[in-house]
Every structure is written in C-alpha cells, then in structure tokens.
Structure 1
Amino acid sequence: MRLRQRHGCLWLAGGLLASVAHADNAPTQSDFGGVGLWQTPTARMAEEGEAALTASHVEPYDRYNVSLQPLPWLEAIFRYTAVSNRLYGPEALSGGQSYKDKSIDVKLRLWTESRYLPDLSIGARDIGGTGLFAGEYVVMSKRFGPFDASLGMGWGYVGGRGDIKNPLSIISHTFDVRPASHEGAGKFSGNRYFRGPTALFGGIDYQTPWDWLVLKAEYDGNDYRHEPQHNNQQQRSPINVGAVFRPNRNMDLSVALERGDTVMFGLTLHTNLAQNTGPAKLLDPAPPKRSAAPASPEQVDWAEVARALRDNAGIQVSSITRRGSEVIVKGEQEDYFYSAKGVGRAARVLDNALGPGVDWFTVVAQQEGLATTETSVNRQRFAQLLDHDITLSEFRQSVEQNAPTPRHEELLYRAPVKRVEQSFALTYQQNLGGPDAFLLYQIAATYNIDFHFTRNLWWSAVVSADLIDNYDKFKYDAPSDLPRVRTDVRKYITSSTVTLPIFQFTGTRQLGQDLYGMAYAGMLESMFGGVGGEVLYRPFGERWAIGSNINWVKQRGYDQDFSFRSYKVVTGHVTGYFDLGYKDVLVAISAGRYLAGDWGATLDVSREFRNGVRMGAYATKTNVSAEQFGEGSFDKGIYLSIPFDLMLPRSTRASASFVWDPLIRDGGAMLSRRYSLYSLTSDRDLDNFNSNLDKIAE
C-alpha cells in the first residue's frame, strides 16, 4: 500500500464490467496475465488502452494478474501468486496463510506483422520482484486465417526445460550460466537476463466459427523440475490444451489441461479504457436553448448570468469583464471533465444574455485563485457550428487559446467568494499480499470541508471514521534499518477509529505570467505535519515545466490527531515535467531528499488517453543500499487513474486511482502533499481541450 489515493479499486472493477468498448476476437490472456496461450506468451498485444483482470488456478498456484496496454507496443503486468502448498512464514507470524509472491512483467513489440513477417516481441517476467518466476523470452506470431501460430525461445522460468544451449554464448561464455536468484531482493538483476540454458515454446490459437469460443494448444518451455522453493511438479506431457469461452465482450472463462494431468481454471474481465466514452449524462442539465437577447452589457443582470454559468456551464464565477467587443468570464470549472464542454455551455449562456455588439466570448480557467488559460470563441462561428453550417475543423480555426495577461478591462460583475465547500464520501483502502492476510481492507466514511478566506487562501480538513475493516489481523511491523517514516503504517491505521488525516492551511499566488507559488502548513497527510512551499514555472504553449518544493515536517502521533512524535526532517524535490509529444506520454523526474533523510531521484512515466484515463509506472532509487532498504531493494510501482466521468450519468471532474506497489518501505518515501501546482495548472495542457473539441457543442 502506498500513501496515494487507494479507494479506486471498486470503481475500477465496475468500470471494467460497465464498458462495452472491446473488439471481437481480441487476444486472450495467459495464466500469468498478458496476451498469450496458457503458460507461454505470444508476440501479440492487446488493443491500445486495454486493461484486464485475470485470476487463474492450476495446482499449486493461484495467480491474480492486472494487465495494462498503455502503448500499442508496450504491455505491463503486475501479479500476485499464491503458492498453496508453501507457508508464508513461521506460524507465529502468518498462521496457515500460503506463501505470496509479487512480480512485475513487461513485454515490448519490436515490429508488427506484415504480409511475410510475423509480429516479434521481447519480454521479461518478474523483473522487479522476488525473482521466483523470473524469465525472459523472444517470441514471434503469424496469423493464418483463424489460426494464430507462435514460436519463441525462453530463458529462466519461461525456458525451464533448459534443453538448448544458449545461442547468446557466441557473444560471451558468461551467457552459459544463470546466476541464482536472491529471493526477496526485488532487484533488476541485469546479470541474470537472458543467461543460462534455453528452451523452445510455442503453440496455436484457433478462433472457431463461433465468436464465443477460442481453442488454444501450446508446447510448454518449462518441465517443472526446477520450481522455486523446491516445489517441483510432475509433468506428464509438455502439451497444454484448452478452451476460452466468451459469454460477452468483457468476460473470458478458461479451462485447460496442463502438465498432462492438471486442470486449470481461469477468469478474465477486460475492457478498453481508452475507447470508453462513459454513459449518457442523463443527470446533466440540458444545454441552454437559444433565445433572442437585445440587452447590452450594461443592461444584463450579471448576477443571474453568473448563476446560469454555475448551474449549466459548471463555472464558479469570480468575475465578468468586458474588453471592447469581448466579454470575459473568469472562474473555476467544477463539473465538466472536458474543458471544451464547459466553454461551449458558457458561450451559450452568454449568447442568450447579450445582444449585438459582442463578438467574442472568453473563458479564463482558474484553479484555487490561479489563472491558467484563456479560451476565446468567436460568437458568429459558434452559432454557425450549432446550426451545422460549418464543420468542427472549420470552427477550430476561430478558437484562440492564450496565457492570461493583465489588461485594461471594464468590470461588469465581481462574485462574492464561495466560503464553504463540503462533501461526504465512502473510501476504500487495502493492503494486499502481507503476512497477516492476503487482503486487508477498510471502508470508511469521510467528511471533507474547505473554507476559503479569499480565493487564494483556504483551510482544508478531512475527518475519517472507520466503518468496516479486518485490520484487527494487521499485526506485522516490517523490519527497517531506516527511520520509520512509512513502515509504521499499521499503527496509523489501527490506533484510532476516528482520525483527522488532513488539517491544512494553503495559500497560492501567481508570481508571474508563467510562474506560480504555493505555501501550506498544518497536518499535511496521515503521518506528517509541518510547513512547506512550492514554486512552478510552466510556460504557456510549451510541453515542459519545472518546479521545486521544500518542507519541514514532523512525524504525527499514531491517532492522527494533533499530537506529534519526535522525528522531524527537511524534505523536498526539484521536478522536471516533459510531455514527449508522442501519444501524450508524460515523463516526470524528481530529485531531492526523501522522508527518511535519503537522497535520490524518482522517475515517473505515464500515458494519458483522450478520455482522461492515465496508465503509469514509477521507480525511485536513493543513496540507501539495497541491504539497508530491505526487501524490494528500491521503491517502484504501477498505477491507473480513471475519471469518474466515464462511470457516472452526471459529469464530474473527480477520478479514482489504483496504485500497486509491492511493498511498504521507508526508503524513497515522498511527502504525500494534498495539492501540487502541476495539477492545479493542468488546464495549461491544451490536449484535453483540443482532443475533445467536439464536446463544445454538447
């Protein structure tokens, strides 16, 4: 469990089941997760944006896999494996719980199938986990009508049969021997990759004339004579055969005979998150109907217009001004995830309120008092778009987006500050794969309140009350050679039923046209309180930004009240953000000091799809040695963020996040800040607006 938002798992499962955006005859998942046959991978990839949850059982292994396809040539899998005939540890520690293994897999497609050439992919299993099931492979796949044939070569667990000399030995004899794995190390062991004897594997996938039935047969590259933990299995046949039944587009049921005498059962739920457009917004207000409005700006009831903008366009107005023939609305978008939809609704409201003489409508996006982007729409061209007299591409030429700049404007209306915002919510958090139980969970009721003294200064608080949990089983404190900045998580979760995770004062300030600042103080997260500040330089129209934060924090008491423990530290980072301009891939590199006093850097790479779904991975390496860091060697994980807008019948800007990190350790731990300037200035990324411009007419 990582100190990020953890309660998105239930929503993720619901979104997977609700979506129907999935192509027929899509590739099937293997027992290990990822596109493949049964025990072996193929060179195929799922559709871009695909996500799959797979559970499989083949004695003595139960595997639970999440597969993500962030790019057309990249597949990522994270997995829990339960080894049913091996104990997690001593009975005093984990009772009769079976052993749990955690791992991450990656597969890359080197080239795509053509008329004569096959798909060719290279991949690795268990690249950053214990190494129990670690293996590498190269595999190719070629389609022949309804048949899809694959042939590959495996190293390590994938090629456990080891009956072929490593062909890489012609480069160096060091490839002849595969060093032993260091169980629990969690290292990227480059000295083991593609080392040792190899084995061939392959098979055939047959799409029957019935869409609901796929048959698969494979030759396994493993003979199970060298299983981890001396758990060798008898293999009566290297041929695995079975069928995949597809009762609907989002579910696969699998059954196979493996090792000649062992039955495998599997269930996969899958969907394409990138293609998901969400349900119809039946609970949204209807767009304003067009009406004649002879009023001049001086005659308009601007307070009423501001209410209409809030109710229909989702904009909490701060001011309305005029600049010649242009009317400017400044405010914060609170409802619509797609900024173009809010701009279009605002243009309709203004069009109904104003007579001739106003030719442009401009919306200046603000977040917590910070102006980020101004979007201007030509009134006449917008009317032509609504009347279908021009195409969307023609209308696009009349839309302008610029950095907000101070200019002389006539004030038409200034809204009072909205003082109080409050909400109630149910939250869910979990801890998977620990020694106390495979799944530790908590459902809590939270009350959130923000009180704004000004638009740029506010107080936030979150009160959490435990409703249902099984954390009474949570008794294990992980060993640590570092200050316990995260591994005391058990005590923070179990010490009090009612907690105060957040009690924070925050102020923002625009320091320049492209420069933003923020300061904060209070109980900043569940484990630390203190003071800090951040600055961000984010030039308009550029695909990069750079920011820095510094914080003096002290460890909070376990009850998450106003008490403190003795540990304190100065922590902070400099972060560079780089949008690669390729499929909305964002690279963030942070360097600085972490909560345990260690120094190092974090690399975060993510891809955001047009509908707001984000898939990403991160890794942190600091000056703490692998031995001092403990199990896992360094911090790493995979995450998935899904806008609630894709799941609900009403527009919303909220999102659910699922973060998978194998272990809670103290090294490489960042302060979990409630706000970040990069997020608050997200409207400076114009991709959301431009990619979804069609929603301006909704």
Structure 2
Amino acid sequence: MATLLITGSALAQDVPFFGLYGTPGLIDMPSADMAPDATLSTSMSHFAGTTRSTITFQVAPRLTASFRYTAIKELYLRGWDQDTYYDRSFDVRYQLLTETDRRPAVAIGLQDFIGTGLYGGEYIVASKNITPRLRLTGGLGWGRLGSYGSFATTGTRPNEVIGEGGIPTYDRWFRGDVAAFGGVAYKMTDRLTLKAEYSSDAYDDEQKSGNTNPSGTTYGPVFDRKSPWNFGIDYRLRSGAQLSLYSLYGSEIGALLTLHANPRQSSYPSGTEPAPLPIAPRSAKAKTDLGWQNDTDVVNSLPVRMRKSLEGQGLRYEGMQVTATSATLRLGNARYGDEPEAIGRAARAMSRILPGSVETFVIVPVVKGMEMSAITLNRSDLERLENAPADQMLARMGIQDGLRRAPALEGGIQQRLNWSISPYMQLSVFDPDNPVRYDLGIRAKARYQLSPNWVLSGSLAKKLNGNLDSVTRAIPSGLPRVRTDYAQYSREGDPALEYLTLAHYGRPGQNLYSRVTMGYLEAMYAGVSGEILWKPVNSRLALGAELNWVRPRDFDQMFGLRSRVTSSGTIPEFNGHVSAYYAFGNGFHGQLDVGSYLAGDLGATVSLDREFANGWRVGAYATFTDANIDDFGEGSFDKGIRVTIPFGWALGKPARQSNTINIQSLTRDGGARLNVNERLYESVRDYHQPELAREWGRFWR
C-alpha cells in the first residue's frame, strides 16, 4: 500500500499511539483512544512473516474506520496456492464514552467485519489515565480476540475463513467465546512510551502445524506462540511519525511505522499567494455623483481596467454590465480552489474601479459557459465589514440562480488552449499473484475551448515502466468482460489515446444543467454520454440522470472499436443511472446512483465523502447489483476508498487541480461504471450556497 501522507508535528501531542493493526491500541490489542477528528494515518507493521498495511481515518470525533491489507508467508487456507497469503479487511470502532476525571473512555469495535473473517473479532474496551504518565487499558474480546483464555460464551460462532470475502460477517458479531485482554502504557518522556500487554488472540490459524500447499510441500506453524505477553517501546519523531519496536508472544520481534496527517492542517496555513488589494472606500460626494455616465472615456475605460485588475489576481474578466447604481460581472476562475476567495478578490477589484454611485455588485461565476449563480454584494457592506469576521459578510450576501444573469462574453474566449505534460502512475492493487502492479509514464493533456459551451479535450500517454501488462492468468468472471481485460489494454496500448472528446455544457432551464460528451470517452470505451442535473443554488439536494451509449475500444487504445461480444458475455450498448446528491453538513457529502452498469447488471452505488474547506476529501463507496456473487468473483461486490489531495494544500498557493488516489478492493466486472470526464455535480455545487458558506472564511483572503 503506497504511503500517501505528509506528517505534521502539530499532531504529535494529540494523536494516540497505534498498534500492530494500524489503529489506536496497545501493541496487538485495541484501546479506547481516538485520534483528533479528521486524522488520516498510514501504518505498516511486520512480525513473524506477517506484514499489515493499514489506512485509518477519524471519520468523526468518536468514529474511526480502517482498511487493512495483510500478507502472511507460508499460510495456506482454502486451497491457497501461493507462498504468501493475502487478506483484505475493514474495521470500524465507536467511542461510547469519552474520558473524564472519574470515568474511562469506552469504545466498541468490529475488526475485519467486511472480509474473509481471518482477523474477525469484536471488542468492548476501556482506557483511563491513572496518573499523567500511566494509562491502563482493559477489554473483552470475541472472535480472534476471544480465542485465548476464554471464560464465557455468548453462543455459537462460525469460525471458517470465508472463501470470496467482502460480505459483512454479521452472523458472527459478538458471538462465541469471550476473553479478557489488557495492558499498561507508561510515558517515560513526551516522546518515549513503554508498554506491556496481555493478549487474548491465540493465533489459531497461524499455529496450525502440517500446513500443506497444493504442490505438496508441508510447512510448520507461521510462528510459535509461547506466551500471551507482549512488550514494546513507542517513540514519537518530531514530525509526528511513530516508530515502535516490540517483543511478541515470547518468540518474535516486531516493528511498526505510522505516519499521520490532518486535512485541517497545512504546511502553509495562510497560503503564499500575494495579498489582495484593499477595498477602496468612497467619499460621500462620490456616492451621489452620476456625471461619469456622460464621460465616454470613463465608461469605455471600465472594462479595460477591470480586465487588467482581475488578470493581476489570476482571474478572468469575461464581461460586465454597468448602470448608475449596479454592476454585473461575468467571472472566470481557473486559479482559486476556494471559490469565496475568487469572489472576494473580484469584489475588491470592483470597489477600486467602478464609479462611486455603483452600490450593488452582482458577480456571476461562469464554468464551461454555464452561469453557476448570481452573487449579490452591497458595496457599503464591503467597505464597512472589510476587517470584520467573514461570516458577517456572508449574512449580507444574496445568491440566486445565475441563469441568463451573466453579461455577454466580451472580447472572445481567453486562453482557448490549455495543455500540460506530466508524469503519471496507474495502480492495480490486491491481485493475489502480485498485490501491487503499476505503470509509470508521461501524459500529455490538452483542452481547447471552441466556444463558451463547447470543449474539445484529449489525453495521450506513453508508458515508460511498469507491470500492469504482466497479468497472464485469466481473471475469472461470469459477466461480460467490461473491466477485467485491463492487462491487455496496458500491454497493447503504448502509446495510448486515453480519451478524445467533444463536450457541450448548457443551462436548459431554471435550476437545470446539462452535459453531452461524445468521442473516445475513456481508455476502454467510446460513444456518447448525456447528463442532466437539477440543483437549486440554496439547496443541499441535487438530482441527476445520465444515459450512455458505448462501444468497447480496441486494446491498442487508438481509433478502432471492437466487438461487444466477449468470452463471458455481450457488453450492452446502453447504461446509465439516476442519482441523488446531498450535502449533510460539516463537509459530509452523500451520493446514491441507481441504474444499469457496464456489464448490464442492475443495482446501486452508495458513496459517502468528507470534504474539508481546503479541498481535502476522504471517502468510501460500495456498489450492490443483481450480479451473482459467483459471477462477480473474489470480493463479492465492488467497493473502495478514495483520498483527494488538493495541489493548493501541498504547495501553499492557489490551485484548482487535485490528485485522487483510489484504493479499489479488486478490479472486477460487476458494478463497473463509465469513467467519463467532468460530470456536472462537482463543478456546479462549488458556486452554490452550501459550499460557498462552508468555505466563506477565505472571502477576505
């Protein structure tokens, strides 16, 4: 699993120490501790031939979620025919009680609750500081955590490892033998902590002797568990990273590295962009002077001066309409990921250039020729509240649908052509034959705006190194091969025309937005994709519909098309979805897509993301369709997590670009959706009231 975090020393005093499972814990047992809200952690641990790589996210102050990928050498289960056994697992924990002077923190957790069940276990655990340096932890465990020293039972628990995995193991939760675990942590210094732990995990599967692989070779246990006691040393680096060394089960030595980051924190808290121009206050006389309307030189100079001022701020002047008391600005923003910052800088420029009698400013952000909204600001409010908290200005802002509110485009399209050349990396993870495959190369992208609403774009990639094309065995599938031929695309597509499309964006009516994209839509499919979105500017809810007609592309990813008939079925011509989007608040965004997928399976995708004001986003999704589990194959259904890191956060200067890392459970044919570029919702919501309000703190920046 690739490390995707940047550490920060500000976290060092607040993040609890993590254990071998990559979650807050003692050593191999959990604790009731929680990291600060929104902490994103990457851990890698190793002992006794077992390597665990874990991503943990503090979803909310009391809720933690984790994804883990484990490699165990010489463990043979359910006919495994490789020297290393690979396992994926998901964890979740919830803190029932926070710690006070009189009571401990108490948490309840599910370990490997969606997976094969190899690490399946549940627990209730309490942690409490006895002194400022001494912390005690104790709990009760089920499953793996109830397999050693059990003293009671809560019913019958299935104990076999699930063949395909991916199914919630609800029939096992808090069932079976119950055992106690616990330990102590003593803080020697602010950075160094000593730990001792009693483990209730018997490691039954790893203790089996006489393991025989399909080739007939017999192996002993993975390791010899001689004692339930573990001991360790945790050390915190200045960067906030954790290094740990452990003595485990009386026979093994283990180590752990954990890196932390928090999307709310940045290496550049204030940014490095130039400061904005100050508001230019008016005199009492200027407010009532209308004589400028009769001065042709003044009137003609306003667009020229406004264009120059906005360009100095990295914004695009696209048109302006001015009356005696109001001005409406058509604005393009290709720089600022925090949209209120672009609006605030445009308003400052208007205050410095427009005559004093102009009291009302209307700013209409335009994206791909579509008016996003019409934001109304009173000039006197700008003058009065420039040094006040931004929320006071937010309370005075008005916002309406921008349909037909934007002035006409002046002077033609600026920056018709945009292009870039950059490196790229394409990942495929969790293949049992090779858990990490990749391609590295160079990508050239170009975008040409034919008119305000028509965009021609394309991408050409040349592979320099990688092994995505080294998959030799046929991936089993009972569905049409809509994605599982990815190795052949990598093998033959070098160089590859990743996409070449012509897209039209429009406003067919009030609260409505549209997109039609045609051409080579993505690496594997060509065709036509149409979308319509209903999104009122003040609403948290949006509804959309998309219909696609597609044909599979030739494996060389050039201009040819191939038959829809594959070795396991025929790819349907049409697919599409109806979608609902909802902003829950506090940065949480939900999405539900219901419809037909590329392989013709019918079902729904549920997504939940948490987005931060600086553009960071962490989320997860799961797709459930009518495809039979046996047809889908290993993993049972499509699911994954994704992390979006904005360039502006890392560089400390404004940027609208970002990089998204998708960690998909497995590449399978079920639940596969078309990867068409620039769907509507993400662009539209940025300039609507819920998102503007969340980011409004940057208005005066």
Structure 2 equivalent of residue 122 of structure 1: 108
Structure 2 equivalent of residue 683 of structure 1: 686
Structure 1 equivalent of residue 197 of structure 2: 218
Tell me, yes or no, if the aligned pair for 2:545 and 2:577 is still in contact at 8 Å.
yes
Task: Quickly say closer, same or farther: Cα 1:162–1:562, change in 2 above 3 A.
Answer: farther
Structure 2 equivalent of residue 508 of structure 1: 505
Tell me, yes or no, if the aligned pair for 2:197 and 2:229 is still in contact at 8 Å.
yes
Q: After TM superposition, give the deviation of residue 685 of structure 1 in Å.
A: 4.2
Task: Quickly say closer, same or farther: Cα 1:90–1:420, change in 2 above 3 A.
Answer: farther
- In structure 1, C-alpha distance between the alignment counterparts of 2:409 and 2:481, rounded to whole Å: 55
Structure 2 equivalent of residue 573 of structure 1: 577
- In structure 1, C-alpha distance between the alignment counterparts of 2:412 and 2:383, rounded to whole Å: 28
**1:531-610 to 2 correspondence within 5 Å?**
531-567=528-564, 568-569=571-572, 570-581=574-585, 583-610=586-613
Q: After TM superposition, give the deviation of residue 206 of structure 1 in Å.
A: 2.5
1:182 aligns to 2:162 (yes or no): yes
Structure 2 residue corresponding to 1:628, chosen from 626, 631, 635: 631
Structure 2 residue corresponding to 1:616, chosen from 616, 619, 628: 619
Tell me, yes or no, if the aligned pair for 1:133 and 1:228 is still in contact at 8 Å.
no
Task: Quickly say closer, same or farther: Cα 1:322–1:114, change in 2 above 3 A.
Answer: same
Structure 1 equivalent of residue 46 of structure 2: 57
1:42 partner letter: S
- In structure 2, C-alpha distance between the alignment counterparts of 1:426 and 1:623, rounded to whole Å: 39
512-521 vs 594-603, which moves further: 512-521
1:197 partner letter: D
Q: After TM superposition, give the deviation of residue 520 of structure 1 in Å.
A: 1.3
Structure 2 equivalent of residue 659 of structure 1: 662
Deviations 1:503-533 (A, max 9, x none): 1111111022211111111111111111121
Q: Secondary structure at the match of 1:482?
A: coil
1:155 aligns to 2:142 (yes or no): yes
Structure 2 residue corresponding to 1:267, chosen from 233, 239, 257: 257
Deviations 1:441-493 (A, max 9, x none): 22221111112221111111111111232345433431111111111111111
CA RMSD of aligned residues (A): 2.6
Deviations 1:332-358 (A, max 9, x none): 311011112111211222222223111
Q: Secondary structure at the match of 1:102?
A: strand
Q: After TM superposition, give the deviation of residue 228 of structure 1 in Å.
A: 8.3
- In structure 2, C-alpha distance between the alignment counterparts of 1:56 and 1:453, rounded to whole Å: 53
Task: Quickly say closer, same or farther: Cα 1:513–1:572, change in 2 above 3 A.
Answer: same
2:668 partner letter: R
Deviations 1:20-45 (A, max 9, x none): 44151520111111111111111111
Tell me, yes or no, if the aligned pair for 1:421 and 1:451 is still in contact at 8 Å.
yes
Q: TM-score, normalised by structure 1?
A: 0.90
- In structure 1, C-alpha distance between the alignment counterparts of 2:596 and 2:109, rounded to whole Å: 34
Q: Secondary structure at the match of 1:222?
A: coil
How many residues are paired up?
A: 670
Q: TM-score, normalised by structure 2?
A: 0.90
1:253 aligns to 2:235 (yes or no): no
Tell me, yes or no, if the aligned pair for 1:22 and 1:250 is still in contact at 8 Å.
yes
- In structure 1, C-alpha distance between the alignment counterparts of 2:358 and 2:342, rounded to whole Å: 20
Which residues of structure 1 form unaligned runs of 5+?
2-8, 170-174
Task: Quickly say closer, same or farther: Cα 1:517–1:392, change in 2 above 3 A.
Answer: closer
Tell me, yes or no, if the aligned pair for 2:361 and 2:379 is still in contact at 8 Å.
yes
Task: Quickly say closer, same or farther: Cα 1:86–1:237, change in 2 above 3 A.
Answer: closer
**1:169-248 to 2 correspondence within 5 Å?**
169=154, 175-208=155-188, 210-227=189-206, 231=221, 233-248=223-238
Deviations 1:525-545 (A, max 9, x none): 111111121111112211111
Identity %: 31
2:182 partner letter: G
- In structure 1, C-alpha distance between the alignment counterparts of 2:698 and 2:232, rounded to whole Å: 45
2:583 partner letter: D
Q: After TM superposition, give the deviation of residue 374 of structure 1 in Å.
A: 2.3
Q: After TM superposition, give the deviation of residue 697 of structure 1 in Å.
A: 2.3
Deviations 1:101-136 (A, max 9, x none): 222211122232334333222222222222221212
Task: Quickly say closer, same or farther: Cα 1:406–1:439, change in 2 above 3 A.
Answer: closer
Q: After TM superposition, give the deviation of residue 410 of structure 1 in Å.
A: 7.6
Q: Higher relative contact order at CA 8 Å, sep ≥6: structure 1 or structure 2?
A: 1
Q: Secondary structure at the match of 1:647?
A: helix
**1:305-344 to 2 correspondence within 5 Å?**
305-312=306-313, 314-344=314-344
Task: Quickly say closer, same or farther: Cα 1:146–1:403, change in 2 above 3 A.
Answer: farther
- In structure 2, C-alpha distance between the alignment counterparts of 1:300 and 1:124, rounded to whole Å: 67
Task: Quickly say closer, same or farther: Cα 1:206–1:553, change in 2 above 3 A.
Answer: same
Q: Secondary structure at the match of 1:563?
A: coil
1:520 aligns to 2:520 (yes or no): no
- In structure 2, C-alpha distance between the alignment counterparts of 1:370 and 1:649, rounded to whole Å: 29
Structure 2 equivalent of residue 5 of structure 1: none
Tell me, yes or no, if the aligned pair for 2:539 and 2:690 is still in contact at 8 Å.
no
1:627 partner letter: D
- In structure 1, C-alpha distance between the alignment counterparts of 2:457 and 2:207, rounded to whole Å: 50
Tell me, yes or no, if the aligned pair for 1:54 and 1:266 is still in contact at 8 Å.
yes
183-192 vs 467-476, which moves further: 467-476
Deviations 1:190-216 (A, max 9, x none): 2122222121112222233x2111222
- In structure 1, C-alpha distance between the alignment counterparts of 2:56 and 2:249, rounded to whole Å: 25
Q: Secondary structure at the match of 2:594?
A: strand
Tell me, yes or no, if the aligned pair for 1:279 and 1:647 is still in contact at 8 Å.
no
**1:28-43 to 2 correspondence within 5 Å?**
28-43=17-32
Task: Quickly say closer, same or farther: Cα 1:571–1:393, change in 2 above 3 A.
Answer: closer
Q: After TM superposition, give the deviation of residue 224 of structure 1 in Å.
A: 2.1
Q: After TM superposition, give the deviation of residue 391 of structure 1 in Å.
A: 4.3
2:198 partner letter: Y
Structure 2 equivalent of residue 646 of structure 1: 649
Task: Quickly say closer, same or farther: Cα 1:160–1:87, change in 2 above 3 A.
Answer: closer
- In structure 2, C-alpha distance between the alignment counterparts of 1:347 and 1:556, rounded to whole Å: 48
Structure 2 residue corresponding to 1:669, chosen from 656, 667, 672: 672
- In structure 1, C-alpha distance between the alignment counterparts of 2:647 and 2:377, rounded to whole Å: 28
- In structure 2, C-alpha distance between the alignment counterparts of 1:104 and 1:444, rounded to whole Å: 32
- In structure 2, C-alpha distance between the alignment counterparts of 1:674 and 1:597, rounded to whole Å: 21
- In structure 1, C-alpha distance between the alignment counterparts of 2:525 and 2:122, rounded to whole Å: 41
- In structure 2, C-alpha distance between the alignment counterparts of 1:323 and 1:499, rounded to whole Å: 53
Q: After TM superposition, give the deviation of residue 642 of structure 1 in Å.
A: 1.7
468-477 vs 425-434, which moves further: 468-477
1:100 aligns to 2:97 (yes or no): no
1:75 aligns to 2:64 (yes or no): yes
Task: Quickly say closer, same or farther: Cα 1:184–1:394, change in 2 above 3 A.
Answer: closer
Which residues of structure 2 form unaligned runs of 5+?
212-220, 287-291, 565-570
